[in-house]
């Protein structure tokens, strides 16, 4: 991490994203409370979250093709500026009392549209500005900053600000997007990726999908995480706030503190991951972490108070980060640079593809069987793919040369 800080471009990127993550954390709690206070419905809260994920999933493949055609830095700037404008409009609508639930859904949809470019762009930009030996550190520093500010300080401040003024809380998020865009503008310009200019957008998308489909460790892992993300980790950020407010009848501040507790655990996990060497058995170690995180949801079956409930996010957050750091470093070192934007978009598309449907289904099932029962059942079902991948020799073959390198002189 100390070595990473000596490089100007990664420092600017992380600094801007850290400030932006703080604003995202403030807005996350403020918008959650806004929807709950106006609708008193976990189903509508799930629909609101799904409204942001639906365009993200639908347009990710197009976003990946765009990322492999234009400067990744410039695309990040455009995304930040657009989201600053959207957030500013939302502040005005909240302050004037004109905002209704269907307008919130439109806001979430437009936000997700720009997310579909932002996520693959930042993944593809990283190896352009970071030396390869520092990629694991960079891939851990980003979630470290995100958890410290976006999942710890931001939500805690967001809970306090929202209790005073929700429009003020959203306004803070708007200002942080401006700061992030400014940091990106201060970075050196990055060139357009090398590509076959004769290819159409559709051909570019097909090429990215074809590469992932032909790479076993990529497509099997993506299918495995789809179930866990869609029905466990994504609904966690909707169902836990609902459980705290409507089952335990706790004050609004506890929602912010629960997210903050997850952020503390994630930050500690990212700090550790940033200073760990890449394991030889990358796929297996990655899935051990994710399996532990999945099984931690079982605690919800017996949790009876706030301190027992937050065991789940406190364990799951660092386990997800440990695995994600290995995953992103593998992507950035194993995938050809000219395909990285499209491969990253396929990654996001598949791993989050079930997310919108999972949110709605989770909300409906939780309404019927209860939040406790839902989490126990989801944990047991979602752990199965990970156990299969841990056992599979064919999927783990990508690491064979790292575990048993060929003797010198043998081709």
The tens digit of pLDDT for each residue in 264-314 reads 888 888 888 878 888 889 999 999 999 999 999 999 888 888 888 889 989
Give the pLDDT of residue 367: 83
Tokens of 221: 């892992």
Say how many C-beta atoms besides its own lie within 10 A of residue 101's C-beta.
Answer: 14
Give the pLDDT of residue 340: 83
Tokens of 358: 């999972």
Mean pLDDT for the chain? 85
Tokens of 136: 């694991």
In the chain, the percentage of residues whose pLDDT exceeds 70 is 97
Task: Name, in order, each residue with C-beta under 8 angstroms of 167's C-beta and a sequence gap of 6 or more.
Answer: 91, 94, 95
Tokens of 108: 């979430």
pLDDT mean over 57-64: 82
**Do residues 326 and 279 make contact, with C-beta atoms less than 8 angstroms apart?**
yes
**194 domain residue, yes or no:** no
Residue for token digits 């989201």? Answer: 83
Give the pLDDT of residue 406: 57
Give the pLDDT of residue 378: 92
User: Which residues span the domain enclosing 321?
Assistant: 2-185+201-401
The closest alpha carbon to 325, from 161, 198, 177, 137, belongs to 137
**383 domain residue, yes or no:** yes
Assign 408 a pLDDT band (cuts: 50, 70, 90).
Answer: low
pLDDT mean over 28-40: 79
d(CA 161, CA 214): 49
Work out how many domains the chain is built from and give that number: 1
**Do residues 68 and 124 make contact, with C-beta atoms less than 8 angstroms apart?**
yes
pLDDT mean over 346-360: 79
309: domain CATH number? 1.20.1250.20
Give the pLDDT of residue 376: 92
Give the pLDDT of residue 407: 58
**196 domain residue, yes or no:** no
Max avg pLDDT among 43-47, 323-327, 345-349? 323-327
**408 domain residue, yes or no:** no
**313 domain residue, yes or no:** yes
**Do residues 268 and 315 make contact, with C-beta atoms less than 8 angstroms apart?**
no
**205 domain residue, yes or no:** yes
Give the pLDDT of residue 389: 93
SS3 172: helix
**323 domain residue, yes or no:** yes
Q: Residues of 288-305 as b/e, b for ≥16 C-beta within 10 angstroms?
A: bbbbbbbbbbbbbeebee
Give the pLDDT of residue 158: 85
Assign 46 a pLDDT band (cuts: 50, 70, 90).
Answer: confident
Tokens of 410: 């043998």
Backbone angles phi, psi at 313, to 5 degrees: -65, -30
- DSSP character for 305? S
d(CA 294, CA 312): 9
Task: Name, in order, each residue with C-beta under 8 angstroms of 335's C-beta and a sequence gap of 6 or more.
Answer: 211, 343
Q: Which residue has the higher pLDDT, 190 or 176?
A: 176
The pTM (predicted TM-score) of the whole model is: 0.72
pLDDT mean over 39-63: 78
**Do residues 54 and 208 make contact, with C-beta atoms less than 8 angstroms apart?**
no
pLDDT mean over 190-216: 83
The closest alpha carbon to 50, from 7, 124, 4, 108, belongs to 108
**147 domain residue, yes or no:** yes
Work out the end-to-end distance of the chain between its first and last CA atoms, rounded to an integer number of angstroms: 36
pLDDT at 411 over 60: no
The tens digit of pLDDT for each residue in 98-117 reads 778 888 888 888 988 888 88
d(CA 325, CA 56): 22
The tens digit of pLDDT for each residue in 108-141 reads 889 888 888 888 888 888 888 888 788 888 888 8
Q: How far is CA 114 from the centre of its chain?
A: 14
Q: Which residue has the higher pLDDT, 386 or 166?
A: 386
Give the pLDDT of residue 347: 85
pLDDT at 85 over 90: yes
pLDDT at 74 over 90: yes
The closest alpha carbon to 283, from 345, 219, 232, 238, belongs to 219
In the chain, the percentage of residues whose pLDDT exceeds 90 is 21
Tokens of 230: 């869609």
Q: DSSP labels for 36-98?
A: HHHH--HHHHHHHHHHHHHHHHHHHHHHHHHHTTS-HHHHHHHHHHHHHHHHHHHHHHHHTT-
248-252, 318-322, 339-343: segment of lowest average pLDDT: 248-252
d(CA 279, CA 403): 9
């Amino acid at each position: 991490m100390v070595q990473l800080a000596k490089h100007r471009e990664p420092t600017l990127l992380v600094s801007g994203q850290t400030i932006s993550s703080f604003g995202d954390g403030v807005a996350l709690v403020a918008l959650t409370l806004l929807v709950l206070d106006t609708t008193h419905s976990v189903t509508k809260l799930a629909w609101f979250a799904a409204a942001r994920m639906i365009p993200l999933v639908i347009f990710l493949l197009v976003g990946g093709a765009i990322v492999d055609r234009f400067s990744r830095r410039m695309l990040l700037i455009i995304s930040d500026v657009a989201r600053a404008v959207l957030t500013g409009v939302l502040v005005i609508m909240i302050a004037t009392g004109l905002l209704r639930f269907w307008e919130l859904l439109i806001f979430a949809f437009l936000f997700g549209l720009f997310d579909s470019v932002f996520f693959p762009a930042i993944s593809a930009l990283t190896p352009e500005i970071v030396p390869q030996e520092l990629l694991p550190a960079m891939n851990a520093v980003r979630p470290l900053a995100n958890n410290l500010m976006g999942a710890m300080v931001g939500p805690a401040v967001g809970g306090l600000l929202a209790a005073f003024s929700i429009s003020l809380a959203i306004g803070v998020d708007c200002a942080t997007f401006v700061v992030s865009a400014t940091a990106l503008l201060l970075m050196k310009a990055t060139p357009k990726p090398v590509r076959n200019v004769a290819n159409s957008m559709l051909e570019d998308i097909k090429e990215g999908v074809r590469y992932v489909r032909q790479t076993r460790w990529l497509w099997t892992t993506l299918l495995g995480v789809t179930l866990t993300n869609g029905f466990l980790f994504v609904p966690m950020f909707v169902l836990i706030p609902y459980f705290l407010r409507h089952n335990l009848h706790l004050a609004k501040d506890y929602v912010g503190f629960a997210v903050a507790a997850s952020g503390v655990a994630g930050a500690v996990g990212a700090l550790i991951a940033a200073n760990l060497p890449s394991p030889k058995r990358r796929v297996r170690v990655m899935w051990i972490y994710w399996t532990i995180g999945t099984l931690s949801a079982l605690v919800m079956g017996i949790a009876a108070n706030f301190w027992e409930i937050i065991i789940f996010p406190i364990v799951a957050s660092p386990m997800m980060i440990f695995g994600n750091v290995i995953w992103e470093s593998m992507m950035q070192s194993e995938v050809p640079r000219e395909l990285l934007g499209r491969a990253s978009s396929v990654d996001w598309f598949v791993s989050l593809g079930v997310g919108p449907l999972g949110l709605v289904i989770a909300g409906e099932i939780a309404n019927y069987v209860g939040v406790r029962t839902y989490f126990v059942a989801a944990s047991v079902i979602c752990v199965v793919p990970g156990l299969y991948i841990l056992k599979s020799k064919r999927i783990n073959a990508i690491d064979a040369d790292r575990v048993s390198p060929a003797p010198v002189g043998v081709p």
